[in-house]
């Protein structure tokens, strides 16, 4: 996805805010200037936003480490909160009368669990939108573009995860995909990448035993950048399931012609214009 006018400012705030969150919000002026200089020099109308994000994040490691107690404790809380909801979530999915309805319900919850804000999170994720869909207080998103039909035909799914906690809801959709006969490769972040799901988070929800393969990606996955197991799994797949803003920005329009199901919350005006979904709404769409 190509950047809009607001994207440079948003990217600066996203990277810098997450860096300082792990050092008690102490200002790091030199880091701010480094990120600002990089973005102003590199952002163009044809840039891949996810690649810009990755290269911006590389600048922080002179000042803070990739891992911190702040993010470790934050993710532990998000995972615990998600785990409490997974029983009722599966019950909600199971109430779908057909495989298609069960699949779509799993998509609703996977998309609605994409709650990480553009700004720094104020506390561990609690997943109110997923809970609201389950108990009928919120209207589920519309599934667009023949998502079920795409999944039904898929033999090899490359599932690109986003955040800790949220990945628990991904496990429910992966369970359905497996029941439909797909082999699923799960892409997680390694090393740690702020609040995003790592191997530890995948193991917490049993995804290491559920997925056919788990591969590590360094920051946001951008195809064609490295000869890795993730790149190989991506190329061998016939369907992508793509979670979250960063992965949408990486793979939309640059997915090498692969069919993809995008699941995310629309968190900015640029994405609202790009998707046609109002800011604050949820996207469940094949493209």
Q: Hey, what are 263's tokens? A: 């699941």
* Helix and strand element counts for the chain (H, E): 13, 7
Report how far Cα 259 is from the mean position of its chain's Cα atoms. Answer: 17
As given in the structure block, the two tokens for residue 67 are: 């891992």
- Specify whether 89 is located in the same domain as 26: no
Mutual angle of helices 7-21 and 29-42, in 10-degree steps: 150
Task: Indicate whether 30 pLDDT > 70.
Answer: yes
What does the pLDDT read at residue 255?
64
> What DSSP line would sit under 209-228, residue for residue?
HHSSEEEEESSS--TTS--S
**Weakest-pLDDT range from 83-92, 108-117, 217-226:** 217-226
Tally of domains in the chain:
2
d(CA 156, CA 240): 9
Tell me the average pLDDT of the chain: 94
CATH number for the domain that contains residue 160: 3.40.50.10880
Percentage above 90 pLDDT, the chain: 90
Region 11-16: mean pLDDT is 95
Give a yes or no: residue 1 inside a domain. no
Quickly state the pLDDT bin for 256 (edges 50, 70, 90): confident
Residues 82 and 190 grouped into a single domain: yes
Predicted TM-score of the model (pTM):
0.96
Tokens 């195809």: give the residue.
223
Mean pLDDT in residue range 88-99? 98
Strands 282-286 and 260-265: antiparallel
For residue 168, what are the contacts with CB-CB under 8 A and spacing of at least 6? 79, 82, 83, 85, 86, 113, 204, 205
Answer yes or no: do 231 and 115 share one domain.
yes
Q: Find the length of the chain.
A: 287
Consecutive H or E run containing 170: helix 166-179
Cα–Cα distance between 177 and 191 in angstroms, integer? 27
Q: Which two tokens stand for residue 6?
A: 């607001």
Question: What average pLDDT does the segment 190-214 reach?
Answer: 96
- Determine the 3-state secondary structure of 285 from DSSP: strand
Range of the domain at 156: 71-286
Query: Do residue 58 and residue 107 come from a single domain?
Result: no
């Amino acid at each position: 996805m190509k950047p809009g006018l607001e994207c440079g400012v948003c990217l600066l705030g996203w990277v810098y805010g997450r860096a300082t969150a792990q050092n008690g919000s102490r200002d790091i002026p030199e880091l701010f200037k480094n990120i600002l200089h990089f973005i102003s020099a590199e952002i163009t109308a044809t840039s891949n936003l996810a690649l810009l994000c990755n290269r911006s994040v590389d600048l922080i490691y002179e000042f803070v480490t990739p891992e911190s107690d702040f993010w470790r404790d934050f993710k532990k809380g998000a995972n615990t909160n998600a785990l409490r909801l997974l029983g009722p979530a599966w019950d909600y999915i199971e109430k779908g009368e057909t495989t298609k309805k069960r699949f779509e319900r799993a998509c609703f919850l996977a998309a609605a669990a994409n709650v990480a804000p553009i700004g720094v999170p104020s506390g561990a994720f609690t997943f109110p939108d997923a809970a609201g869909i389950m108990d009928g207080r919120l209207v589920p998103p519309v599934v667009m573009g023949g998502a079920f039909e795409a999944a039904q035909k898929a033999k090899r799914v490359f599932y690109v995860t986003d955040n800790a906690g949220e990945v628990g809801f991904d496990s429910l959709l992966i369970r359905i995909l497996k029941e439909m006969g797909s082999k699923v490769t799960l892409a997680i972040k390694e090393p740690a990448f702020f609040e995003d799901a790592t191997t530890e988070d995948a193991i917490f929800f049993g995804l290491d035993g559920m997925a056919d393969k788990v591969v590590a990606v360094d920051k946001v996955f951008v195809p064609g950048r490295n000869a890795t197991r993730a790149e190989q799994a991506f190329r061998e797949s016939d369907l992508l399931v793509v979670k979250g803003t960063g992965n949408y920005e990486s793979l939309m329009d640059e997915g090498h012609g692969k069919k993809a199901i995008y699941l995310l919350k629309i968190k900015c005006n640029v994405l609202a214009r790009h998707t046609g979904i109002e800011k604050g709404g949820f996207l469940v769409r094949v493209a």
